[in-house]
Chains A and B, each alone.
Chain A
Amino acid sequence: MESKKRSPIARFFKNPLRRWCWLFMGPVLAAFAIGFVWPFFQGIYLSFCKFRLIRDAKFTGLSNYTAVFADESFRHSFWYTALFAVVSLVLINVLAFTVAYLLTQGLKGSNVFRTVFFMPNLIGGIVLGYIWSMIFDGILSKYNTSILLETKYGFWGLIILMCWQQIGYMMIIYIAGLQAVPEDMLEAAKIDGATKWQTLFKVTIPNVMPSITICTFLGLTNGFKLFDQNLALTAGQPFIIQADGTVIKTTEMLALNIYNTFYGSSSTSPGVAQAKAVIFFILVAGLGLAQLAFTRKREVQN
Chain B
Amino acid sequence: MNAKTLSAENRTKTILSVVLSIICVIYVLPVLAVVINSFKLNTYVKTNTFDLPTGEMWAGTSNFVKGMTFGNYPFLKSVWYSVVITIASTALILLFTSMAAWYIARVNSKFCKAVYFLCVFSMVVPFQMVMFTLSKTADKLHLNTPWTIPIVYLGFGAGLAIFMFVGFVKSIPLEIEEAASIDGCGPIRTYFSVVFPMLRPTMISVGILEIMWVWNDYLLPVLVLDINKYRTLPIHIQYLKGSYGTVDLGATMALILLSIIPVIVFYLSCQKYIIKGVAAGAVKG
Contact = CB atoms under 8 A, between A and B. Distances in A.
Task: Say if A and B assemble together.
Answer: yes
B246 to A, nearest CB: 13
B129 A277 contact: yes
A43 B187 contact: no
A94 interface: no
Interface in A216-249: 217-218, 221, 224-225, 227-228, 231-232
A297 interface: no
Given A281-B126, A285-B124, 18 more contacts: A10-B109, A13-B107, A17-B106, A18-B107, A28-B158, A35-B158, A38-B133, A109-B21, A118-B275, A122-B267, A125-B234, A134-B45, A138-B33, A141-B47, A164-B27, A228-B219, A231-B218, A277-B132
B24 interface: yes
24 contacts: A6-B109, A24-B102, A24-B103, A25-B104, A27-B99, A29-B115, A31-B152, A34-B137, A34-B151, A34-B155, A43-B132, A107-B16, A126-B218, A127-B259, A127-B260, A134-B253, A164-B27, A214-B282, A214-B285, A217-B285, A225-B126, A231-B238, A232-B238, A259-B128
Interface stretch (A67-75, A83-91, A168-176, A197-205): A168-176
A123 interface: yes
Given A16-B186, A288-B124, A27 B129 contact: no
B69 interface: no
Interface of A: 2, 6-7, 9-10, 12-14, 16-21, 23-25, 27-29, 31-40, 42-43, 46, 54, 99, 102-103, 105-109, 112-127, 130-132, 134-135, 137-139, 141, 164, 169, 172-173, 176, 213-214, 217-218, 221, 224-225, 227-228, 231-232, 255, 258-259, 262, 270, 273-274, 277-278, 280-281, 284-285, 288-289, 292
A7 B107 CA distance: 9
Nearest to B223: A263
A38 B96 CA distance: 19
Contacts of A118: 274-275, 278
Nearest to A118: B275
B20 interface: yes
Given A107-B20, A134-B37, A280-B128, A126 B237 contact: yes
Contacts of A46: 132-133
Given A102-B16, A134-B45, A176 B279 contact: yes
Select the residue from A35, A123, A273 with max chain B CB neighbours within 10 A: A35
